[in-house]
Structure 1
Amino acid sequence: MYRFVPFFLLVLAACSTTDPIVEVPDRTPPAAYPNHSLEQIRQSVAVSGGAVRTYAVDGDIQIVSPDRDDSATHSVRSRIADSTTATIRGPLGITVARALVTPDSFLVHNRFAGELVVGRVETADRFLPGAGSSELFARAVLGLLAPDESTWQVTPREGTYLLSDRRADGSRRVLIVDPSIWRVTQAQEIDASNRVVADQRFSQFETVEGITFPRRVVLTAPQDGLRVTMEHARIVPNPADLRLRFERPDDVDVVVVE
């Protein structure tokens, strides 16, 4: 799977910010903790990030796998409910890769290899830990994950809520929600053998335009020895001039992911 490492670079983003980023104040759980219901938790997380429909971010990315350790800078622009584009630049600002993720598919143009990787969006989870749809991918990049309508089991734990959803096949999802900021700080996919197959962690929370975002995002696939670390330097929620730019290149080898 490592020939597709450029795909992991899509998890980053770029643009300029209008308001200064400030640190989140004292993160003390609300007075109602630990007695929030599942519906209260779900609604609180949804409302806290619900104003974000589009975004642009930039920063640094590091990709570590058993056979490589790469660093680059990233630019990502996203319409969360629709599509996301990413540009990855290496030394001297040289563009290394461009990517597009849509509700149907993903495309990655690896300029150095002279190839275009394409596949159904459902296969993205094989290459980006925890991503399985264009919206999940966009939300993971900026720490905007939220519990869906599943029947989550809620357990208070050390000032947070642990939400667990077990599927019929024995696999499960786990979310850690911090009620002081109503953000998911960790998400895991665990298989039926109790092995973690994808782990997403969000930290260094700060506010931009009154909305809380993580500066640091770490996505790992422990079984594959893969770790993607994103450090967001600038974050722009709902930019007025958002443009998603991706042109499908000609004269390149096309690699289809099944």
Structure 2
Amino acid sequence: MRRNILNSLFLLALVSLTMACKTKKKVVVVPPVSGVAPVDTKKMETLEMLQGKDISYNTLSLRGKARLDINGNANNVSMNIRIRKNEGIWLSIGGPLGIEVGRAWITPDSIKVLNKLQNVYLGKPFNYVHRFTNPQVTYQLLQAILSGNTIPELMRTEANLTAQNGVWEISGEQADLAYRALFNTLFKVSEYQLNDLKSAKALKVVYGDYQNMNGTLFPTTIQINSMAGTQKIALNIDFSKVESNLPVEFPFNVPGKYEVIN
């Protein structure tokens, strides 16, 4: 795998990943759309109700399998994701036979990537991800997508709140970012659409089934499509394990033999 392909894997996966889980517990089926509009309430009350369905956590630890297609080059990988809320997101990607091919560490201030196939290291400020995304993308936005929660920046009274086919939809524009969030009949986010109005950058995230874990609903599958110029990524994730509020570690050491790249 070429160096730029692996770097794109990490950077764009971090931008567009989300959390999902799957255990032996029974999947919660999303009720079908009835076509009847939700009860009309004040906008702020509705936004608060939708945000009230977010998961509450201090840490998350997630494992799963994914199929990643970058410009037609598809690979099956394993993923290990750990999050400490508002502090950092750690990601390990494994290749065939469970061999780790790379590791990444992202915080509100920086992004660091180890390419273990090429023995190279990338360390940049957080805004480096804006090469692949809209400048409105923040650490908090990524964290919300990873946890399957509502994106705080979008849950504003200035947003358009409508009922489409019996479920809620939030849409609007923030600077050069056009956004659309769809909710299902469980009042959980079912789809995000983020588009840069000035460039060919777009992100679509679709959440799948849910399961009840300690009274909280987690998505079990996710489909992601990302486009940045001519770079196109399709990512399908199926997580096998999720744990919350347990101690997590973020091992990230750069060996002296690694080459630092820009």
TM-score relative to the length of structure 1? 0.83
Could you say what secondary structure the match of 1:60 adopts? strand
Could you say what secondary structure the match of 1:72 adopts? strand
How far off its partner does 1:9 sit? Answer: 4.7
Q: Measured at CA, do residues 245 and 42 of structure 1 come closer, stay the same or move farther in structure 2, by a change above 3 Å?
A: farther
In structure 2, what is the Cα distance between the partners aligned to 1:131 and 1:90?
Answer: 32
Identify the match of residue 25 of structure 2 among 21, 35, 60.
Answer: 21
How far off its partner does 1:83 sit? Answer: 0.3
Q: Measured at CA, do residues 195 and 152 of structure 1 come closer, stay the same or move farther in structure 2, by a change above 3 Å?
A: farther
Q: Measured at CA, do residues 26 and 148 of structure 1 come closer, stay the same or move farther in structure 2, by a change above 3 Å?
A: closer
Instruction: Report the counterpart of residue 218 of structure 1 in structure 2.
Output: 223
In structure 2, what is the Cα distance between the partners aligned to 1:249 and 1:150?
Answer: 48
Amino acid at match of 1:253: E
In structure 1, what is the Cα distance between the partners aligned to 2:59 and 2:223?
Answer: 21
In structure 2, what is the Cα distance between the partners aligned to 1:83 and 1:194?
Answer: 28
Instruction: Report the counterpart of residue 182 of structure 1 in structure 2.
Output: 187
C-alpha offsets along residues 156-198 of structure 1, whole Å, 9 cap, x if unaligned? Answer: 11122121122355x41111122x3222111112233796611
Mean Cα deviation higher: 91-100 or 190-199: 190-199
Instruction: Report the counterpart of residue 253 of structure 1 in structure 2.
Output: 259
User: Given that residues 38 and 168 in structure 2 are in contact (C-alpha distance below 8 angstroms), is that contact kept between their aligned partners in structure 1?
Assistant: no
Amino acid at match of 2:7: F
Aligned-residue CA RMSD (Å): 3.1
Is 1:5 aligned to residue 3 of structure 2? Answer: no
Count of residues paired in the alignment: 251
User: Given that residues 84 and 102 in structure 1 are in contact (C-alpha distance below 8 angstroms), is that contact kept between their aligned partners in structure 2?
Assistant: yes
Consecutive unaligned residues of structure 1, counting only runs of 5 or more, are none
Could you say what secondary structure the match of 1:140 adopts? helix
Amino acid at match of 1:166: E
In structure 2, what is the Cα distance between the partners aligned to 1:116 and 1:70?
Answer: 22
In structure 1, what is the Cα distance between the partners aligned to 2:209 and 2:48?
Answer: 23
1:1-258 to 2 correspondence within 5 Å?
2=5, 4-7=7-10, 8-10=12-14, 11=17, 21-25=25-29, 27=31, 33-127=38-132, 132-146=137-151, 147-149=154-156, 151-169=158-176, 171-178=177-184, 180-192=185-197, 197-222=202-227, 223=229, 224-239=231-246, 241-256=247-262
Mean Cα deviation higher: 51-60 or 215-224: 215-224
Mean Cα deviation higher: 56-65 or 195-204: 195-204
TM-score relative to the length of structure 2? 0.82
In structure 2, what is the Cα distance between the partners aligned to 1:231 and 1:243?
Answer: 23
Could you say what secondary structure the match of 2:220 adopts? strand
Could you say what secondary structure the match of 2:208 adopts? strand
In structure 2, what is the Cα distance between the partners aligned to 1:175 and 1:232?
Answer: 23
Mean Cα deviation higher: 127-136 or 109-118: 127-136
In structure 1, what is the Cα distance between the partners aligned to 2:165 and 2:201?
Answer: 22
